Structure 1
Amino acid sequence: MRPALDGHAGIPQETRLLFRGLSTIEGLDVEGLLQSSNRVIARGLPHPDSGAYRRMSLDKRIHRLSRVVLSLRASERQRITEHVSDLLRLAVAPIGMTARAALGMSETLGVFDGAQFRDFVWRDLFARTLPVSDLDTVAGARMRVARVPWNLTHATALATRRFGGPLYPRLDTRDFDILLAETPFPGRVSRRTRMVVRYHDAIPILMPHTITDKSFHQASHYHALARNVKDGAWFACVSEATRRDLLSIFPEVEPRTRTIHNMVSHHYHEEATSAGRLYEIIRTRRNEKVKGSEPDPMRWMGADHQYLLMVSTLEPRKNHVTLLSAWEMLRQERFPDLKLLIVGSLGWDHSAIVKRFKPWLANGDVQMLEEVPASELRLLYHHAAATVCPSLGEGFDFSGVEAMRCGGAVVASDIPVHREVFGDAAEYFHTYAPADLARAVGAVIDGEHAAYRSELIERGRVVSQAYLPDRVLPQWREFLLGLAGG
């Protein structure tokens, strides 16, 4: 559940959707694994079958669970004693974990019962992706607690790799048939448990120059992945393109791989809404971290307004600058009033990207938004002249599928995963060529090509159905029940 604690889109979104979906499958008893990226979590409850649990009074159980909730977030105004205590826990935790791993001992997982902490579970873990109709499905979920932070387990393994290889903790998962991990997992499982890695992409290994904290991210991804492969983990890849990338690194794992595509949230569907709400969304969702934006979005209003939409974190791999160059060509040559809307948080190395956008941000023809809820994002998808997916590399790419679900037209970079996921429902362009992107956009948004645009949208309605929960969840059911019974 770690990714669900942060972020809207991508892996956090898939984590929420997958937990909710698996929880609805008959025959599966699903629990979450609580782990922070960078904080030591308070102990959960002892196992319910243990004497320690039976001896603990109800008020002390609730107090213990309350401490777990508090430990997942730093205080806004942290006292010096709290700060020192956090630092001490971070310093001490890896020592004990490493010693236990070296001695072949397991890490006990505490128990977290969400029944009395539904508000925390819902708002902190699920509300950013799921509709409120799913609250009862997920808010009372039972979870286990892994105390040592995710990043610290990676760092400790890397620090020990020169002494006989990376040392990863073995979690006590005897209660479970399967542990399903989002991304390569920095840990091991009990012998009766099978690990399934939800493998999103091999970008940290095959495109290491495009990621943040390059050396650590590349090394932590590779060594955890290698350990998972050696331990006999199975890999549920989000696309066939991702599966091929995995096999290009570890061909021996081929019999233990499956491709199960991501699910699109049921938030995304066609809705008859007025484009007049565009003004309100731009006004209230502007990315305040981007300085120099024109404060008045009224220039976006008008019966003939057209805008291109890109939904993605601002980082070099997402290829924003190529889109901007193409948009400038289109404005100069054919569509002088065309606007550009960027939705996404600021990622790593974003300064150069924002600087390139500055002149257009200043006059308001480009707007950057963040934390746009799905109820508003589907309106942006629906009314965009086109949603552009220009990324240099992806494992899946939610934005194109979401746009299709909302009745939008899609223009995408010609990379293998886009061809696989979008099929014939997108207009493709050469990834590194702004002029070809301008051509592709023009082919979709030019009024003379209205019939072609309508055809693309209709194809998108068909293609995107493959990623609805009722299409994807039966694949998960067959895969997981087969593993559990095998």
Structure 2
Amino acid sequence: MSYSVLPSTQKLRTLLEMRPALDGFAGIPQETRLLFRAFCDSQSIDITGLLQTSLRFLIAGTPRELNSRETTREPDSKRYDRYSRLIVSLDTKPSGKLFDEIRLYLKRRRVAYRLMLSAVLGGNRKLVRLTKFEPRHFEEYVWHALFEKTLPPEDFEPVTSRDHLVCQVPWNILQSAGLLTRKWRGRPVYPTLDTSGIDIFVAQTPYPGRVTKNTKLVIRYHDALPIFMPHAFANKARHQATHFQALADNVASGAYFACVSETTRQALMTVFPETEARSVTIHNMVSHHYFCENPPPARVAQIVRARRNAIVHDGVSTPQDVDTTDDAGMKYLLVVSTIEPRKNHSLLISAFAALRTEYDSTLKLVIVGSNGWGADQIVRDMRPWIQQGALFALDRVPASELRVLYRHAAVTVCPSLAEGFDFSGIESMRSGGAVVASDIAVHREIYGDAAEYFDSHSDTNLKACLLQVLSDENASARRKMMIERGAAVSARYLPEAILPKWEAFLTQIGRQDT
């Protein structure tokens, strides 16, 4: 697929942080893959990925430039050995053995303190070296590790043919090094990446590092929730500190901010008013996987059987007379999000229980998402309904199957207490579904008049809102109008609509003097 692009005489050498793409299906990992794919088609952006993990050290790739003392490039055999070992380091999880864990802990501390001392001593701080990875002959790994979870097969060639740079030092070690300097400087001083030869570095979330002189730093800012809702995250103190301190350093160092919503941009400016002139709103892209089709309703039952969340369903037996194979035309509510408190599953389960009693005893609830932080109480709320065969918890659902679930759901519910964007409503609209969402600013901004809204703290209000779409005498006409409006609203987030905004923004800052 190709996207419309803006003309440009010289491409901007742009580095995109790929660390989130190593994890998960949705959210920031998905947006990272979609952004990289769109940049591949740009006539004004020359895209390279940055390979880095959160916790694991990587093997170095090949030097970015030939050493002046060398007269020939290193042999292909040596280069391929480097790349092969790099992939092993990317793809190998910690062994869990005590000795290995101790050795890794000591290495992390040693590197963090070395980087901290380098920063504290000042002067020409030692740069964090970046090396090169050329994916030719390693395309299958690149596709599987970075892109397969989001992109369609026809995108294989463009995304696997692009080079990458490698940062051997884990993201969390850069965070630790910066936070350690607070004891000496009173503020964090983060390590500097050697980004020479790069015009723009686009980082996902506040980045715990600086860039060299001729590179512009752009932070893809998703939300300020670690600042305003720190209680909603695991490892609260660490999460809040790493987010806020890295963000403050990004602001102080002159970074630019591409916010996923105007709601997020306003939150950023609340904390750092000086970012107003250096921030823009560029919404997330929705994947081309989501479009309106008419798969047979029986596909829903097949997906429900195949994609059950083993952790949630573990130890819970369902009645023998409840079998999803009989539910070819089952009526169900759908929610797609990580299972954690701020996603507000408990409110939805409470409203669902009332609907089963007062409206339709055959109504089902399908929850798609992996278990996140603080999921235990939500899982406890879910299990009685799982035992009755009324609720199905699914995870690791690919986009092709999620599209089917969106299409046949009576309603997709987006109940979150807070979000930076919220993909699920837009994906549902693209797939021909109707959306009911919590009445928070970002949902109003993103979904506009294509959704019905409810009070995020009232299960009674949510129940009433759902009844308007499910059983009101005008429900059929209302639902049809919502689906039609959803098709128009969600088209605003297709790559061909969003890419020109990125091109214009990056071109503008790329032309400014450093």
Match of 1:343 in 2: 368
1:45 counterpart = 2:62: yes
Match of 1:329 in 2: 354
Match of 1:65 in 2: 83
CA shift for structure 1 position 302: 4.1
Distance 1:68 1:268 in 2: 34
Task: Judge conservation of contact 2:259–2:280 (CA < 8 Å) in 1.
Answer: yes
Q: Secondary structure at the match of 2:183?
A: coil
Q: CA RMSD in A?
A: 1.8
Distance 1:50 1:480 in 2: 31
Match of 1:366 in 2: 391
Match of 2:13 in 1: none
Which of 276, 286, 301 does residue 298 from structure 2 map onto?
276
Match of 1:420 in 2: 445
CA shift for structure 1 position 10: 0.4
Distance 2:499 2:477 in 1: 35
Distance 1:363 1:335 in 2: 15
CA shift for structure 1 position 67: 1.4
Distance 1:342 1:56 in 2: 53
1:317 counterpart = 2:342: yes
1:203 counterpart = 2:228: no
CA shift for structure 1 position 141: 1.9
Which of 150, 154, 157 does residue 171 from structure 2 map onto?
150
CA shift for structure 1 position 418: 0.1
CA shift for structure 1 position 168: 0.7
CA shift for structure 1 position 105: 2.1
Which structure 2 residues correspond to residues 108-127 of structure 1 after superposition, within 5 A?
A: 108-127=129-148
AA aligned to 1:469 is P
How big is each residue's C-alpha offset from its partner over 1:399-430, in whole Å with a ceiling of 9 and x where there is no partner? 00000000000000000000000000000000
Q: Secondary structure at the match of 2:412?
A: strand
1:245 counterpart = 2:267: yes
AA aligned to 2:443 is H
AA aligned to 1:92 is R
CA shift for structure 1 position 220: 0.6
Match of 1:429 in 2: 454
Distance 1:484 1:356, change over 3 A: same
AA aligned to 2:381 is R
Which of 361, 385, 401 does residue 410 from structure 2 map onto?
385
How big is each residue's C-alpha offset from its partner over 1:4-23, in whole Å with a ceiling of 9 and x where there is no partner? 00111100000000011111
Match of 2:154 in 1: 133
Task: Judge conservation of contact 1:40–1:89 (CA < 8 Å) in 2.
Answer: no
Task: Judge conservation of contact 2:298–2:329 (CA < 8 Å) in 1.
Answer: no
Match of 1:215 in 2: 237
Distance 1:326 1:472 in 2: 36
AA aligned to 1:455 is M
With normalisation by structure 2, the TM-score equals 0.91
Number of paired residues?
Answer: 486
Distance 2:500 2:316 in 1: 46
Distance 1:405 1:303 in 2: 23
1:194 counterpart = 2:216: yes
Distance 1:113 1:80, change over 3 A: farther
Match of 2:23 in 1: 6
AA aligned to 1:348 is W
CA shift for structure 1 position 98: 2.4
Distance 1:79 1:124 in 2: 25
CA shift for structure 1 position 28: 1.1
Paired-residue identity, %: 48
Match of 2:308 in 1: 286
Match of 1:18 in 2: 35
1:30 counterpart = 2:47: yes
Moved more, 408-417 or 98-107: 98-107
Match of 1:478 in 2: 504
Q: Secondary structure at the match of 2:47?
A: coil
Runs of 4 or more, structure 1, over 6 Å off, are 78-81
CA shift for structure 1 position 80: 7.4
Distance 1:229 1:53, change over 3 A: farther
Task: Judge conservation of contact 2:54–2:170 (CA < 8 Å) in 1.
Answer: yes
Task: Judge conservation of contact 2:58–2:168 (CA < 8 Å) in 1.
Answer: yes
Distance 2:481 2:362 in 1: 25
5+ long unaligned stretches in structure 1: none
Q: Secondary structure at the match of 2:479?
A: helix
1:97 counterpart = 2:118: no
Moved more, 1-10 or 54-63: 54-63
5+ long unaligned stretches in structure 2: 1-17
Q: Secondary structure at the match of 1:179?
A: strand
AA aligned to 1:217 is H
Which structure 2 residues correspond to residues 247-266 of structure 1 after superposition, within 5 A?
A: 247-266=269-288
With normalisation by structure 1, the TM-score equals 0.96
Which of 399, 404, 416 does residue 429 from structure 2 map onto?
404
AA aligned to 2:309 is N
How big is each residue's C-alpha offset from its partner over 1:447-468, in whole Å with a ceiling of 9 and x where there is no partner? 6310111001100001000000
Match of 1:183 in 2: 205
